[in-house]
């Protein structure tokens, strides 16, 4: 087992979790390379593993259904790897948006900041090439388009979806997933990528708040249940109110989360929003949660979200607390 000294050249300005690894020593495994040590250093759970076989990566030539690209993530970092290739990372910098890095799988490698990743990802404020088709924004009649190009595994899956499927000569072929690609992790990842994009480039407050409060969410086409342990690990990570409730608790019957407010409200990306943007975000949240603006949220859901935020979000405006 060997170690290297991470070098992140010319990134003194960066404040994302990957850049913070400067001068951190990581062990190199002859089989898996830096992947396990990197996930541990970034506090990324291995249970978050999801797998994609569509060629939507700089390593497209390596990606096949028999050799998918695997992704791991937490609230601010995504780590991707293809067997036989290198490690890709995307990290949320509160001040500069999403930053991209690569790390070759060899003992003498250094972590490199990659500006050229923006050629496919469009800009440092969006991860458009990593979006997973989910019920968000997909009409119920089109639920058969879910997860196209991705492997999907779990104890309970919707009856109709496009995961684990390829087409050859207009014929549909079902694939057996070669590894775990947890259905709940897929759903969370899709929501999180959209949320990270909106927080990095918050020009439309209505769109930001709609996604923050899941107002743009289409009901699940069926019950889902993972089997990797991701659900349990994810739910234990969040702050809880005095009644034990958390914005990281799942529903998974008709919608993703039990309480309709994103856990991303606790992230550095949200906390670092410009003051005017954050004020406007809180103000619209309040008009919806206090029923001044009509929405589909039930009175019970609105009340629960307000109470949870009061106990867990110290910077709430006074009108949240005094109501």
What's the chain's average pLDDT? 87
Report the sign of the C-alpha dihedral through residues 140, 141, 143, 149, in that order: negative
Residues 136, 218 contacting (CB under 8 angstroms) = yes
Predicted pLDDT at 57 = 84
At residue 222, the pLDDT reads: 87
Query: pLDDT over 70 for what percent of the chain?
Result: 86
Provide the 10 A C-beta neighbour count for residue 295.
15
Decide which of 151 and 129 is more confident.
151
Average pLDDT of the residues in 21-27: 81
Residue 314 has pLDDT above 90, yes or no: yes
Element containing residue 292 per DSSP (H, E): none
| Closest to 260 measured CA to CA, from 193, 205, 199, 305 | 305
- Model confidence at 142: pLDDT above 80: no
Q: For residues 166 and 150, give the distance between their C-alpha atoms in angstroms, rounded to a whole number.
A: 10
Q: What is the mean pLDDT of residues 295-306?
A: 97
Question: What pLDDT is recorded for position 239?
Answer: 96
pLDDT at 130 over 50: no
Reported as type and span, the H/E element at residue 72 is strand 69-73
pTM for this entry:
0.90
SS3 (DSSP) at 238: coil
Distance, in Å, from the CA atom of 27 to the CA atom of 185, rounded to the nearest integer, reads: 27
Main-chain phi, psi angles of 195, to 5 degrees: -65, -40
For the segment 59-73, the average pLDDT, to the nearest whole number, is 95
């Amino acid at each position: 087992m060997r170690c290297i000294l991470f070098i992140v050249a010319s990134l003194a300005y960066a404040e994302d979790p990957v850049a913070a690894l400067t001068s951190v020593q990581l062990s190199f495994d002859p089989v898996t390379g830096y992947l396990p040590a990197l996930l541990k250093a970034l506090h990324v759970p291995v249970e978050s593993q999801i797998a994609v076989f569509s060629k939507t990566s700089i390593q497209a030539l390596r990606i096949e259904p028999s050799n998918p690209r695997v992704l791991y993530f937490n609230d601010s970092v995504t780590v991707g790897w293809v067997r036989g290739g290198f490690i890709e990372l995307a990290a949320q910098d509160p001040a500069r948006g999403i930053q991209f890095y690569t790390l070759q799988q060899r003992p003498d490698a250094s972590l490199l900041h990659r500006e050229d990743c923006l050629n496919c990802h469009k800009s440092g404020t969006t991860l458009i090439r990593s979006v997973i088709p989910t019920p968000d924004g997909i009409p119920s009649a089109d639920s058969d388009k879910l997860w196209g190009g991705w492997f999907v595994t779990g104890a309970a899956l919707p009856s109709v979806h496009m995961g684990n499927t390829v087409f050859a000569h207009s014929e549909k072929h079902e694939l057996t997933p070669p590894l775990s690609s947890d259905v709940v992790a897929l759903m969370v990842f899709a929501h999180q990528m959209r949320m990270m994009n909106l927080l990095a480039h918050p020009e439309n407050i209505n769109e930001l708040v709609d996604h923050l409060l899941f107002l743009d969410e289409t009901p699940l086409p069926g019950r889902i249940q993972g089997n990797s342990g991701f659900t349990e690990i994810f739910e234990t990570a969040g702050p809880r109110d005095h009644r034990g409730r958390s914005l990281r608790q799942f529903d998974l019957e008709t919608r993703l989360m039990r309480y309709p407010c994103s856990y991303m409200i606790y992230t550095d990306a949200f906390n670092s929003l410009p003051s005017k943007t954050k004020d406007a975000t809180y103000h619209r949240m309040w008009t919806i949660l206090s029923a001044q603006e009509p929405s589909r949220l039930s009175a019970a859901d609105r009340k629960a979200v307000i109470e949870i935020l009061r106990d867990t979000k110290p910077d709430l405006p006074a009108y949240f607390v005094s109501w």
